[in-house]
Structures are given as structure tokens and as C-alpha cells.
Amino acid sequence: MSLSVNLPSLTVGVDAYDELGKYTRDYGNKVAIIGGETALKASHERLQSAIDKTTLEVITMLVYGKDATYSNVERLKAIKEVQEADMIFAVGGGRALDTIKVVARDLNKPYFTFPTIASVSAATSAVSVMYHDNHEMSGLEFMNAPTSHCFVDTKVVAEAPSKYLWAGMGDCISKEVESSFSARGQNLSFSNRLGVNMVKGTNEKIMERGTQALEATKTGVPNHALTDVVLEIIGATALTTVLVDNDLNSNLAHAFYYGYTVLPQAAAHLHGEVVSYGVLLLLTMDEQFEYRDRLKAFMETIDLPTSLADLEVTTDDEVTQILDKAMTMGDLNISPYEITRSMVEQALTDLEGLSQATA
Ligand SMILES: [Zn+2]
């Protein structure tokens, strides 16, 4: 029995695209660029000027579609230039990258990822989340290995709407908390141990650099803090996701998020925004009060939600609906102790009491 550990490599910074030639030169010259419509517009000039400094030749540039669907995959696979390319550049957010990864896998092409927002684990993961044409989730597609290299131009990330980095940080702060909590007391396999340890220290870095990084996305001017935070989101958190078993990847913070999605309010709130409140809930239940209070104070400074009211949850009935779903989620399966509904209810009450006391 052998064990493979597939870790994607990455380059993050204002000159990230200038490293292209170094990583692509063993794969040939003909490139098919595929991406999201907005992402291609946002990155094209910088990507093209980096390509111009190499021997690479762009033989086609295509919009992937609008969703990660099999019909988009099949349409792209049938395009002659895509079939003839030596490699594929996947540009954009999660759904674009997920679609293009499946195209590259099916055509046996190496692919490189160029995430244009920071809240994307698709750029380095070896799995794609696919949807039906009616936008219902259909399932997961697995790659043999992650991207050959991931390039994050922080100028492009800084120019993207601020909310993506904001919510990306909200999701990012869950990984260290949830993976450590789930792994507590477990005898970890090699990959799980690497993954759980890789993300340790991430939240200290986010608390230290997050505000300044967010500033970069408000002004459109990249700074070192943005590079640091993107490294935590894509370089640490996303790699942990690649390394650890699914059971260790998430816990109560994500179970809370899935519970919340049953409410119509969910449409107006980003994934990471909701998850970040769930992190406070988990820390409250686990009685990590000092740490929770520090994290909560940071979240308040950047306006991440720290109360149910921030998530527009105002009635007991809504809380019941959230918990009805949350308590059934597999995210809770691997925990250091059994998580009961009354424990979660108590933690919610305590956390809400805290917000009212400080309001
Ligand atoms: Zn998440």
C-alpha cells in the first residue's frame, strides 16, 4: 500500500504572473485560457503582458459559462482549440475553476489556476463541486492531482469587490478552529496531521493583518498585508482542506451555516459571513472564552457578524429551523465529545447574551 500526498504549489503577489514561464515551460507552448467573464476582463491585461514575456502562445480565450455544470464541461471539451492546447489556464472564482478542472481532467491536459478573488479553495483543491443546469448541486468530481501551479496576482484581488476578501476571511478563520476541534484526541494519519498543523497560527495572522488587507481591496491598491492574508486563505487554509479527511474539515461552524441556508435570509449573506458567526458559536460551546472574545473583537472591527441579528435572525422559530437542519449535518460526526442540541442552544444563548451586554 502506498500513500500519495498531492500538494499544489503557488505564487502570490503583485508580480505573481511574471513567474509563469518558470512553471509552464515543461508543458509546451499552446495555451487555452478559460474563465469567468468578469474575471477574464479583470485579469486579461496583466496576464497577457506576462504571457508576452514567455514563449507561450494563447490559441483561444473562452468564457466558461455561468455555472459549474456538465453541459459547460461538454461544450468546452468539444472546442477544437481546447483539444489542441498543451495546457489550460483556469481564471476566475470557484465555479469557473471547478468547471475547467473537469475539462482539463477529461482531456488529460495540465492546468494552471488563476483565482481572481481570495475566497476560493477551488484554485488549489483536487475536487470540483458540480451543479445541474437548474443550479441544484449534483455532486463532486475528483481530480488525480491538484493544479500544476496556482498564481494569485494581488493587484487583481485588490481590485475585486471587497466583500469577497471579507467573507473569505470569515470562512478562513473557521479552518484552524474546526480542524483542531475535530482532531482533538484523535490519532492522526500523516496527511491529517500535516493538514491540522499547517493552519495553526492562521487566525493570529488574520487578526493581525486582516484590517489592512481589507483596506487594499477598498482602495484597489495591493499591500503586503493582502499578500499575507491571501497566503493564509489560499496557501494554508485551502491546503489544509486538500490534506485532511472531510470529517476533520469542518464542524459546528459549518453545520450552523448549512442550518442557516434553510432561511430565506441566507440569499443575502455570503458563506464565509455566516460561517464566521458559527466559529464564535463553536468557541462558546467549547468554552474557549478568551480566544472567542479576541476573535469576536476583531470581527467587530471589520463588521463580520457577531450576533444573530447581524444575520437577520430574530425569532425563536428561525433558530429552531436552523438547529433542526444543523444538528443533522455530518460536519458534527467527528468531535471530541458528543454535541447535543441543548449544548448548541445553550451556547447560542450565551453568545447572544454577550452581544446584548456589549451592545
Ligand atoms: Zn467554508
Q: DSSP readout, 117-186? A: SSS-STTT-SEEEEE-TTS-EEEEEE-SS--S-EEEEHHHHHHS-HHHHHHHHHHHHHHHHHHHHHHTT-
Q: Is a pLDDT exceeding 70 seen at residue 358? A: no
Is residue 201 one of the residues assigned to a domain?
yes
Q: Spell out the residues 6+ positions from residue 67 whose beta carbon is closer than 8 angstroms to its own.
A: 95, 99, 131, 133, 135
Q: What distance in angstroms lies between residue 342's CA and the mean position of ligand 1's atoms?
A: 24
CA of 36 to the centre of ligand 1 (A): 21
**Whole-number percent of the chain with pLDDT over 70:** 99
Confidence of residue 125 (pLDDT cuts 50, 70, 90): confident
Tens digit of each residue's pLDDT (9 = 90 or more) over 167-200: 999 999 999 999 999 999 999 999 999 999 999 9
- Measured in Å, residue 204 CA sits from the centre of ligand 1 at 19
Tell me, yes or no, whether 100 and 174 share the same domain: no
Per-residue confidence at 205, pLDDT binned at 50, 70, 90?
Answer: very high
DSSP secondary structure of 50-107: HHTTSS-EEEEEEE--SS-BHHHHHHHHT-HHHHH-SEEEEEESHHHHHHHHHHHHHT
Domain that holds residue 277: 163-358
- What is the CATH number for 16? 3.40.50.1970
Q: How many A from CA of 87 to the centre of ligand 1?
A: 29
Distance 254 CA to ligand 1 centre (A): 6
- C-alpha to C-alpha distance for 232 and 240, rounded to whole angstroms: 10
Find the 77 Cα to ligand 1 centroid distance in Å: 30
Query: Are 23 and 82 within one domain?
Result: yes
Closest by CA position to 274, among listed 254, 288, 300: 254
Q: How far is it, in rounded angstroms, from Cα 85 to Cα 83?
A: 6
Taking the alpha carbons of 155, 13, 198, 126 in that order, is the dihedral positive or negative? positive
- Is residue 190 domain-shared with residue 171, that is, in the same domain? yes
What is the count of structural domains for the chain? Answer: 2
pLDDT tens for residues 208-227?
999 999 999 999 999 999 99
Same domain, 119 and 220: no
Say if residue 244's pLDDT is above 80. Answer: yes
Q: How far is the CA of 228 from the centre of ligand 1 (A)?
A: 20
DSSP string, 295-353: HHHHHHHTT---SGGGGT--SHHHHHHHHHHHTT-GGGSS-SS---HHHHHHHHHHHHH
In a domain, 1, yes or no: no
The three-state secondary structure class of 190 is helix
Reported pTM: 0.93
Domain boundary, last residue among 158, 189, 206: 158
What is the 8 CA–ligand 1 centroid distance (Å)? 19
Please report whether residue 5 resides in a domain.
no
CA of 119 to the centre of ligand 1 (A): 9
Cα–Cα distance for residue pair 156/115, rounded to 1 Å: 9
